[in-house]
Amino acid sequence: MKILLSGTASDSHTWNLVYLGLFLEERGHDVVALGPCVSPGLLTAACRRHAPDAVVLSSVNGHGHRDARAAVRQLRAEADLAALPVAVGGKLGIAGRSGEAEADRLREAGCDAVLGDGPGDLEALCAFLAARARVVA
């Protein structure tokens, strides 16, 4: 699959993106990495330019629940991108692991998978992508 990997608008961290990019490439995915501090508008334009099979958003600064919600809402507002699978993960809240309330708001905004930063979340990401790969194939 072609995966568009991105940080969120207010998150300047990069090592999480480097790690995820390598992790996804080792599993055979073609990764287009946008980097940190990606605005919803830039993400939307990149999705049109690269035509990914899925988007993976990563956050470390604790504001991922807010930034990812804005990004996904913009994608869902675009007819040609509304069905694009989106997974978000990392440190999504400032109180540590994201709570169900934040996860529910992300799902309501259109996130297809909401993951944290725990030991099982990378495998959950792989399962999410594998399910989408069957749809794409």
54-75 pLDDT, tens digit each: 999 999 988 888 999 999 999 9
What is the Cα–Cα distance from 109 to 75, expressed in whole angstroms?
10
The answer, yes or no, to whether residue 113 has pLDDT greater than 80, is yes
What is the Cα–Cα distance from 135 to 36, expressed in whole angstroms?
29
DSSP helix/strand/coil, 68:
helix
The answer, yes or no, to whether residue 96 has pLDDT greater than 60, is no
Predicted pLDDT of residue 134: 72
What is the Cα–Cα distance from 128 to 74, expressed in whole angstroms?
22
Predicted pLDDT of residue 118: 83
Quick one: residue 28, left, alpha or beta (phi over 0 = left, psi -120 to 50 = alpha)?
left
DSSP helix/strand/coil, 54:
strand
Predicted pLDDT of residue 84: 97
Predicted pLDDT of residue 95: 67
H/E element holding 58?
Answer: strand 54-59
Q: Name the pLDDT band for 101 (thresholds 50, 70, 90).
A: confident
The answer, yes or no, to whether residue 136 has pLDDT greater than 80, is no
